[in-house]
Structure 1
Amino acid sequence: MIRTTNLLRLPQLGRLFAPTVLRNSRCLSHTFPRANELNEQVMKPKKPLSRIPVGGSESVREQTVKTGSTVEFSTGRALVLFLVVGAGLTYFFKQEKKRLEIQREAETNRGMGKPLIGGDFNLVDHNGNPFTQEKLKGKFSVLYFGFSHCPDICPDELDKLGLILENMKKNHGVTLQPIFITCDPARDSPEVLKEYLSEFHPDIIGLTGDYDEIKKCCKNFRVYFSTPRDLKPGQDYLVDHSIFFYLMDPEGEFIDVLGRQYDAEGAAEKIKQHISVYVPKDAREKQKQGWLGFLFK
Structure 2
Amino acid sequence: MGAWRRLLASALVTGRSRILSPQSHHSRLLAPRLVDFFPGTPAAFQGFQGVQRRMSTTTATSAAAAAAGQPDAAATSTAEKPLAEGVEEEETKQAKTETPVSGEPKVVRRNPVSWLSFFLLVATAAALLFVFEREKKKALDAIRNKEMDVKYGPSVGKAAIGGPFKLVNHEGKTVTEKDFLGNWTLMYFGFTSCPDICPDELQKMVQAIDAVDKKSGLKIAPLFVSVDPERDSVEQMKEYVQEFHPRLVGLTGAPEDIKQVAKSFRVYYMKTGDEGDDYLVDHSIIMYLMDPKMEFVNFFGKNYTVDELSQGIMDEVKSHGKTKRS
Unaligned runs of 5+ in 2: 1-153
Equivalent residue letter for 2:315: Q
Q: Is the 8 A contact 1:243 1:259 kept in 2?
A: yes
For the 8 Å contact 1:141–1:176, the answer to whether it is kept is yes
**Alignment partner, residue 106 of structure 2:** none
Question: Which residue is 2:54 aligned to?
Answer: none
Q: Aligned-pair distance for 1:207?
A: 0.1
* Aligned residue in 1 for 2:288: 246
How far off its partner does 1:158 sit? 0.9
Which SS does the other structure have where 1:247 is aligned? strand
1:163-183 deviations in Å (ceiling 9; x for gaps)? 112101111111000000000
The equivalent position to 1:149 in structure 2, one of 193, 213, 216, is: 193
Give deviations 1:198-249, integer Å, cap 9, x for gaps: 1111110000000000011111111112149xx99x5333211100110000
Bigger-Rg structure (1/2): 2
**Whole-angstrom CA distance in 2 between matches of 1:170 and 1:280:** 22
Which residue does 1:131 correspond to in 2?
Answer: 175
Aligned to 1:198: 242
Cα-Cα RMSD: 2.4
Once the two structures are TM-superposed, the CA of residue 109 in structure 1 deviates from its matched residue by: 9.0
Q: Report the counterpart of residue 183 of structure 1 in structure 2.
A: 227
1:199-278 mapped onto 2 (5 Å cutoff): 199-227=243-271, 234-278=276-320
The structure whose RCO (Cα within 8 Å, separation 6+) is larger is 1
Secondary structure at the aligned position of 2:225 is classed as strand
Q: Specify the alignment match of 2:116 in structure 1.
A: none
What TM-score results when the alignment is normalised by the length of structure 1? 0.54
* Structure-2 change in CA distance of 1:280 and 1:272 (3 Å): closer
Q: Secondary structure at the match of 2:231?
A: coil
Provide the secondary structure at the position in 1 that maps to 2:289.
strand
The 8 Å contact of residues 165 and 175 in structure 1, kept in 2 or not, is answered as yes
Structure 2: how far apart are the matches of 1:189 and 1:235? Answer: 14
Which residue identity does 1:125 align to in structure 2? N
2:164 maps to which of 117, 120, 132: 120
Structure 1: segments with no counterpart, 5+ residues: 1-107, 288-297
% same residue? 42
Residue identity in the other structure for 2:295:
E
Equivalence for 1:111: 157
1:280 CA displacement? 9.3
Q: What letter matches 1:270 in structure 2?
A: G
- Tell whether the 8 Å contact from 1:109 to 1:254 is kept in structure 2 after alignment: no
Q: Tell me if the contact between 1:136 and 1:248 (Cα under 8 Å) persists in the aligned partners.
A: no
For normalisation by structure 2, the TM-score amounts to 0.50
Equivalent pair of 2:184/2:291 in contact (CA under 8 Å) = yes
